[in-house]
Every structure is written in C-alpha cells, then in structure tokens.
C-alpha cells in the first residue's frame, strides 16, 4: 500500500508517517524543506523517541520523500498511484498543495477508478472538506465527476503533542506517548482497509470539537497567558498555579458547551480535562509558548478554538469570560518572528483594538462577546 504524505514536519514524521509505516504503507513524504527531503531520500528511515520515562525509540522504515518545489511532476505521479494521501502542513498551507493534488487526481481518474482517500490531518474543523474545495477548484468538470465516484476526502481529528525539534539528527523527532487519530468513516469509500491505531467514527463532530476546544483551546490559553507572564515554555507556564487555574476555567467553559451539545458524561469529561492538563505538564517535553501560540489570526478566526466555543457558549446562555480572556491574550501575543502576530499588532495599531477584533473574529463591536474581549484586554494590557 502506498501513501503520499504532505508535510515532513513534526506531526508528519512524529505521528502520521509513523502510524502509516507501522500499518504497512510505503510512505512518500512531500515537503518544501530540501534538507528533510534529501535526508529521507538517502536514509529511507528516521527515529521517533517517546517522551516518557523509558525514552523508547522506534525507527520508522520504508519511507522516502519528494520536494513539492522541484519534484511536482513526480508528486502528481505518486498521487496517481497512491492508496492514501494525507497532509500535515498547516491548514493555511492547503491552498498551496491543492494544485499538485488536483493534478495527481486528474491523472489517476483518467485511467483508474481505484479508491483514493485524501485526509487533511490539520487542527481545523472540516480540514479535508476545505482541501476538497481547493482541489476541485483546480480540476476540470470531467475529472471532478469521476473523482466524486472514487476519491473521498474524509475529515479527521489528530492529537499528539509534538514540540519544535532541535537534534543533531534533523529527522529525529521526540513525541509524547499519547496519540489519537479519528477519521469520519461516513465520508469514506466502502470497503476501505482500516489503518491500525486509527479510530473510525460515523460522526466526527463531537470528537473534533472535543479535541480542538479542549486540547487546543487549553493549549493556546496557556501559551497566551504564559507569554504575558514571561514564560518561554508551556511546562513553565503550567507550573504557575494561578495560570493553570485560569486555563482550567477556560476548559470548564468549553466543557459546558461540549457536554450540553454532545451529551458527554460530565465526570468523564472532567477526567478528559485532567488528562490534558497533565499532558501539557509532561516534564519530558519542552514545548515553546511561541509554537503553541503561533498564528494568532488563525486561532482567533471564527471557526477556530477560541471564537467558536465562545460564540456557542453565548448562544446557549453559558459562560465565556475566561475564553474572552484568552482571546485578549492572543491580541497581546507580540512574537516578532510570527508573521500573523506582526499583522495583528499592525492592525491593532492602525485600526484600533475594537475594529481589529471585529476584523479577525467576525464579532460585531456591539456583541456581548466582543465587549467581554475588550474588558479582558483592558485588564491584561
């Protein structure tokens, strides 16, 4: 079985590539990073170390790589022959890979009706659906019609904390032991071969919302509040009890929405929150606040981890103050080498905070959630 995976970065190597290789796939990574590509081509393997007491290392074998810059032709040919295409490039990068994915699908459906699944493993609601739209916009009508019958884009949720890596071996990746990959089986082509370790569900919404609005909402809250207190890592931030209490408050707000909306058991959800806070604290990881808070405009966008649960809480008559404190924290995330943080700071300076909040969150200035963001911003500033 052959898989083409876009993004040989942290989650690509440390999670998706690892699981697919263990499930018997020959994995071809596609990346813009020439160093990753040449090392993977040459060595055809790389090590993944678990950030746990035993520090167990697994060598991921049977892999290779292509450059999305210089090997576009070969990437399209590989997609035409693959059983699975996955991505972990960042949701805002999907538009840059859509062209080559479309070309691969065009070539494939012209000669074959063998099933292909294309799965975006990004932190976003409906990531694969977004990729499908981008790909279809680049496909001719006849190929689209054929693709409808043999190519599926099931949405997915992926969870494993993989921090920035700094090792002598650039392919080495240290990951937390926990992982969860959930795929919407209702969007898959019947008769698919399950990948070992993947959880297939017929309704993804509760899973993706629970993951994004707990792990990622809590994580970015720790990052933004931690940044304001001068912490460099999530582990440092989580050692601050007052800060951890604020992160827990946020997760109680998102938890109330999730419990009401999806009928989760309250006690079980509370244990889920505890486990996540424990994962953030993992002393065997060093996870930088700058990574976890990265791309604040994406994180402040209407369907993402802060605004969506805050608006859902508002609409259900539930609390959202702690969520708006995290949103205010995002507005103050002034990390110089993060292009989105720079854009946000420039917008705040040029338009004023009130208009910048509306511009990026989509929330009108007279809305109660917007007013709460402004109130929390004044307190944090």
Ligand X SMILES: O=P(O)(O)OC[C@@H](O)[C@@H](O)[C@H](O)[C@H](O)CO
CA-CA distance, 148 to 185, in Å (whole number)? Answer: 16
* Least distance in angstroms from the C-beta of 189 to ligand X: 27
**Strand order from edge to edge, sheet including 156-159:** 156-159, 180-184, 198-201
Contact with ligand NAD (CB under 6 A) among 3, 4, 8, 174:
8
Are the C-beta atoms of residues 266 and 257 closer than 8 Å to each other?
no
The residue number with the shortest CB distance to ligand NAD is 9
* Least distance in angstroms from the C-beta of 67 to ligand NAD: 8
Instruction: State the binding partner of 294 from ligand NAD, ligand X, none, CB within 5 to 8 A by kind.
Output: ligand X
Find the DSSP H helices in the chain. Answer: 10-11, 17-22, 34-43, 72-81, 94-111, 127-136, 141-150, 205-210, 217-228, 234-238, 241-262, 266-281, 289-292, 296-299, 307-315, 321-331, 339-351, 353-361, 368-380
Contact with ligand NAD (CB under 6 A) among 12, 104, 296, 309:
12
Q: Does the annotation flag 12 for ligand binding?
A: yes
CA-CA distance, 73 to 141, in Å (whole number)? Answer: 22
* Least distance in angstroms from the C-beta of 57 to ligand X: 21
Q: Which CB sits closer to ligand X, 158 or 347?
A: 158
Please, which of residues 143-202 interact with ligand NAD by CB under 6 A? 158, 160-162
Number of residues that bind ligand NAD (CB under 6 A): 25
Q: Which residues bind ligand X (CB under 6 A)?
A: 123, 159-161, 215-216, 219-220, 292, 294-295
Q: Does the annotation flag 6 for ligand binding?
A: yes
Please, which of residues 68-97 interact with ligand NAD by CB under 6 A? 68, 88-91, 93, 96-97
* Least distance in angstroms from the C-beta of 92 to ligand NAD: 8
Are the C-beta atoms of residues 83 and 195 closer than 8 Å to each other?
no
Q: How far is CA 350 from CA 114, 173, 296, 366, in A?
A: 53, 41, 17, 20
Site residues, ligand NAD (CB under 6 A): 6-12, 30-33, 68, 88-91, 93, 96-97, 122-123, 158, 160-162
């Amino acid at each position: 079985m052959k898989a083409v995976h876009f993004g040989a970065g942290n989650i690509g190597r440390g999670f998706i590539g690892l699981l697919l290789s263990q499930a018997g796939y020959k994995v071809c990574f596609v990346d813009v990073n020439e160093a990753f590509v040449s090392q993977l081509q040459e060595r055809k393997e790389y090590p993944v170390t678990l950030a746990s007491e035993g520090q167990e290392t697994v060598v991921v074998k049977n892999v290779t790589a292509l450059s999305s810059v210089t090997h576009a032709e070969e990437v399209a040919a590989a997609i035409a022959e693959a059983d699975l295409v996955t991505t972990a490039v960042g949701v805002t990068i999907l538009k840059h890979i859509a062209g080559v994915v479309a070309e691969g699908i065009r070539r494939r459906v012209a000669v074959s009706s063998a099933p292909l699944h294309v799965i975006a493993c990004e932190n976003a609601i409906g990531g694969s659906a977004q990729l499908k739209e981008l790909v279809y916009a680049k496909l001719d009508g006849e190929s689209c019609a054929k693709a409808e019958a043999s190519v599926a884009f099931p949405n997915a949720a992926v969870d494993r904390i993989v921090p920035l890596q700094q090792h002598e071996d650039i392919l080495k990746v240290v990951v937390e032991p926990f992982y969860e990959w959930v795929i919407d089986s209702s969007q898959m082509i019947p008769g698919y071969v399950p990948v070992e370790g993947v959880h297939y569900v017929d309704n993804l919404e509760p899973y993706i919302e629970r993951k994004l609005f707990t792990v990622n909402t809590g994580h970015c809250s720790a990052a933004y509040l931690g940044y304001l207190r001068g912490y460099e890592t999530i582990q440092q931030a989580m050692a601050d009890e007052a800060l951890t209490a604020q992160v827990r408050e946020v997760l109680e707000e998102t938890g109330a929405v999730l419990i009401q909306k999806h009928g989760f058991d309250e006690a079980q959800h509370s244990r889920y929150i505890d486990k996540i806070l424990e994962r953030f604290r993992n002393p065997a990881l060093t996870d930088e606040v700058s990574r976890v808070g990265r791309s604040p405009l994406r994180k402040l966008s209407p369907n993402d981890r802060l605004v969506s649960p805050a608006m859902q809480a508002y609409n259900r008559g539930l609390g959202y103050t702690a969520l708006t404190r995290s949103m205010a924290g995002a507005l103050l995330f002034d990390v110089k080498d993060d292009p989105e943080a720079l854009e946000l700071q420039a917008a705040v300076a040029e338009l004023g905070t009130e208009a910048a909040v509306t511009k990026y969150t989509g929330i009108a200035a007279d809305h109660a959630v917007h007013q709460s963001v402004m109130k929390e911003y004044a307190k944090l500033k």
